[in-house]
Amino acid sequence: MNGYNFRIQPSNPSHNRQSRHVVEQNFMEIMRFPSLKKFNESFGVRLPCHPLENITKPYYLYIKDNMTGIDKTFFKLNDSKITEIPMDFSTSGRHICSWTVPRIFFAVLSVANASASRLEIRETWASEFYTESWRQLSQRRIAFFFGGAGLSSAQLRSLQDESARFGDIVVGDFNDTYDNLSLKMAVVISWVAQYCPNIEAMVKIDMDTFVNVDALLHLLKELPKDTHKNYVYGNRYNNDQAPVMRTGVWSVPKTIYPFEFFPQYVYGHSYVISGSAVKLLSKSFPYFPIIPNEDAFVTGIMSLVLNITRLDISAFGDLTKEDAVLTFDRGIDVTVVMKKAKREVVWSTFKRKKCKSV
């Protein structure tokens, strides 16, 4: 199966990816509701059942690469440092993991002019991370990350004001451009390793991605982290080899990466990195060149270099699925990428739902 080792619970070698998705629809059907504590308390509603208690083991594929014709010596760390990871922060956010020790950290890559979208996240899928005074004390934490170099003084003041109110802003010393996304992610991972060293896992999320947090946490609990301490989980980008673009917004110069294909990687809108892999990546970034395309770099190239286990899990939203909102609403997916209007509809639906018998 394209260099993959298929693993399924319960074991059945006759299943393929398509049948796996059908089975997922059956056993994930009850994964319908995010946590609604604030909504329920404010309206006096009590859920009659636990929406996650009967979910069976998740299905996944181990990701392996076909490296035929590729010089494997490229995929190793240098003996000396060749990359500088800027770790100066005008707004450090170092307090975010200091009040109590969190279990899961959500890292959201944001931009300065998206304050309304950040507020939307705080008030919807991440709402239970905060107290009424916007402190984060639960086992789940979230921060929004920016590069401060190149921002105007007005933009920096605005982010400082936002940080003073919500306490979830981190501003680093690098240019926040599309070409710099791989460097930005290296900074984010290094920040998490430094300031949240005891987390079980880090979840990388894009601004336009909606998360069913309870379903995601249940999924992580059921995956084989005991046998694979260093792992990356997400939805695999391509069934076959992932081509390298030489033109356009995703272009990568041959002088930086000479091969025609990336190692297999997962979609960048949402993926999970184990806490131990976060530390390993952080220590390793200075010894490897930064290569454009953040998802390919972190979950493909660096995971191959460091022998980090990669798991393909289709519950992380697939950008190619026409029914992505429907499958998310039904609890089949734990993340989904969608526009603001659809996110509002989904959140409204989440707030109305109650458990159904299964």
pLDDT digits (tens, 9 = 90+) for 293-350: 999 999 999 999 999 999 999 889 876 566 666 666 666 788 988 888 878 878 877 7
pLDDT at position 221: 86
Q: What is the CATH number of the domain that holds 116?
A: 3.90.550
Asked whether residue 51 carries a pLDDT value surpassing 80, the answer given is no
Count of the separate structural domains present in the chain:
1
pLDDT, greater one: 149 or 357: 149
For residue 48, being part of any structural domain is answered with no
Asked whether residue 268 carries a pLDDT value surpassing 80, the answer given is yes
pLDDT at position 350: 73
Asked whether residue 25 carries a pLDDT value surpassing 50, the answer given is no
pLDDT at position 27: 33
pLDDT at position 254: 95
For residue 191, being part of any structural domain is answered with yes
CB 36, CB 52: distance < 8 Å:
no
**Per mean pLDDT, which range of 36-40, 195-199, 269-273 is the poorest?**
36-40
3-class secondary-structure state, position 176: coil
pLDDT at position 319: 64
Token look-up 């976060």 returns 278
For residue 123, being part of any structural domain is answered with yes
pTM across the whole model: 0.82
pLDDT at position 45: 36
For residue 24, being part of any structural domain is answered with no
Q: Which structural domain range is residue 142 located in?
A: 62-312
pLDDT at position 29: 34
For residue 96, being part of any structural domain is answered with yes
pLDDT at position 353: 60
pLDDT, greater one: 75 or 214: 75
Residue 106 — pLDDT band, cuts 50, 70, 90? very high
Could you write out the DSSP letters of every residue in 90-136? EE--TTTTTSS--SEEEEEE--TT-HHHHHHHHHTTTGGGB-TTS-B
CB 5, CB 60: distance < 8 Å:
no
How confident is the model over 349-353, as a mean pLDDT? Answer: 69
For residue 334, being part of any structural domain is answered with no
For residue 202, being part of any structural domain is answered with yes
Q: Please name the residue ranges forming H helices in the chain.
A: 17-27, 37-43, 115-123, 153-166, 181-195, 213-222, 275-284, 294-295, 303-305, 324-329, 340-352
pLDDT, greater one: 332 or 261: 261
Mean pLDDT for all residues in the chain: 82
For residue 10, being part of any structural domain is answered with no
- Per the DSSP assignment, residues forming a β-bridge with 262 are 242
